[in-house]
Structures are given as structure tokens and as C-alpha cells.
Amino acid sequence: MHSTQPSLPRRALTGAFLSLAAAALVGCASAPAGLAKPNADTSPDALLKRAQAYWDLVKANDNLGAWAYEAQSKDPRWSLEGYLKKGGITYSHIKVLGVKSVEGSAGVVDIEMTYSAPLQRIKDQQVRTDDQWELIDGIWYHSLRRSGMFLR
């Protein structure tokens, strides 16, 4: 009796081929960090829209929604749980004033805000500051300012 199933070596080769093809497709679909995908919008307007959406979520205290805009969300060393534990700062006013610069995969947005940190007994502090953004896989992500005091 003749079997309609492929022989074991043929099935193994077919499986290996499908695995390689899937790996090649995945490799083609993801660009290295910092490089834009061909259809990505890396313009200052795209950065401005992302920054406004991010700060709207922060002001609304929607940390779960804001996480999707954080560069940390793309770093396996960070977790959503850790991000949600940060906090203690509330914002009563946030205004995205405009894009100051875009150079390669780095962007800077000019913002003004009024914030409070009740645990530190800081209330209604007004500040105008540079907000750092970075381009990851063709999308702008909010980037924490690095400080010597707070190393990753």
C-alpha cells in the first residue's frame, strides 16, 4: 500500500525550509532600531503629533496608554509593571509648543508644564523644558533624559 504522506526526510526538509522562510520574512519586516521603515513618517509634524498624543495621555494620568509612547517600552530591560510603579507627579497644565529640532533619530520638543509632586511637597511648579524623543523603527518614542544621577 502506498502512503500519501511525504517521507520523513522530505517532511524534515519541508519543515526546515518553512522555518527559514518565516525567519527571512521576520528579518525583512523589522528595520534596525533608529532606521526608518520606507513608509514611516519621520517628519517634524509626525513628531509633534506623537508628542501631543503622549502628553495628553500623561496629563489624563493614563500611564497604561502613555507606555506605548515610551522608548522604554521597546527595551526588554524595562517592564510595564515597573513603569506603572513610577509616578507621584501630577500635571495640571501641559502644552506642547513645537518641535525644536530633528537630527537623525533624535528629536526635541519644546513643552511647558505645571506639575506637582505631593510626596516631595512640591506644588504647582511651572517649567518650560526640552522634551527628548527618539526614532525607533520609524516611529517617534518619548525618551527619558539621561542623567548621571539616574543610570539605567
Three cell numbers at 28? 525583512
Q: What is the pLDDT of residues 82-121, one digit of tens each?
A: 888 877 889 999 999 999 999 999 999 999 999 999 988 9
Supply the DSSP symbol for 2: -
Q: Is residue 55 part of a domain?
A: yes
Q: Is residue 51 part of a domain?
A: yes
Q: Is residue 71 part of a domain?
A: yes
Q: In the predicted model, what is the mean pLDDT of residues 30-46?
A: 63
Q: Which of 34-38, 71-75, 93-97, 121-125 is the least confident region? A: 34-38
Asked whether the beta carbons of 139 and 119 are under 8 A apart, the reply is: no
* Domain count within the chain: 1
Percent pLDDT > 90 in the chain is: 58
Q: Is residue 15 part of a domain?
A: no
Task: Give the per-residue pLDDT at 42.
Answer: 85
Strand partners, 110: 98, 130
Separation of alpha carbons 140 and 55, rounded Å: 13
Band of the pLDDT at 67, cuts 50, 70, 90? very high
Q: Is residue 126 part of a domain?
A: yes
Task: Give the per-residue pLDDT at 117.
Answer: 92
Separation of alpha carbons 101 and 106, rounded Å: 8
The reported pTM is 0.69
Residue 98 CB partners (closer than 8 Å, separation 6+): 48, 109, 110
Separation of alpha carbons 89 and 112, rounded Å: 15
Separation of alpha carbons 145 and 57, rounded Å: 19
The highest-confidence range among 4-8, 34-38, 83-87, by mean pLDDT, is 83-87
Q: Is residue 91 part of a domain?
A: yes
Task: Give the per-residue pLDDT at 100.
Answer: 97
Q: Is residue 113 part of a domain?
A: yes
CATH of the domain at 133: 3.10.450.50
Apex CA 83: angle with CA 74 and CA 110, to 5°? 75
Residue 50 CB partners (closer than 8 Å, separation 6+): 69, 133, 139, 140, 141
Q: Is residue 114 part of a domain?
A: yes
| 138 CB burial (10 A radius; 0-12, 13-18, 19+) | middle
Domain range for 110 is 44-142
Task: Give the per-residue pLDDT at 10.
Answer: 44
Task: Give the per-residue pLDDT at 85.
Answer: 82
Q: What is the pLDDT of residues 125-146, one digit of tens each?
A: 999 999 999 999 999 999 986 5
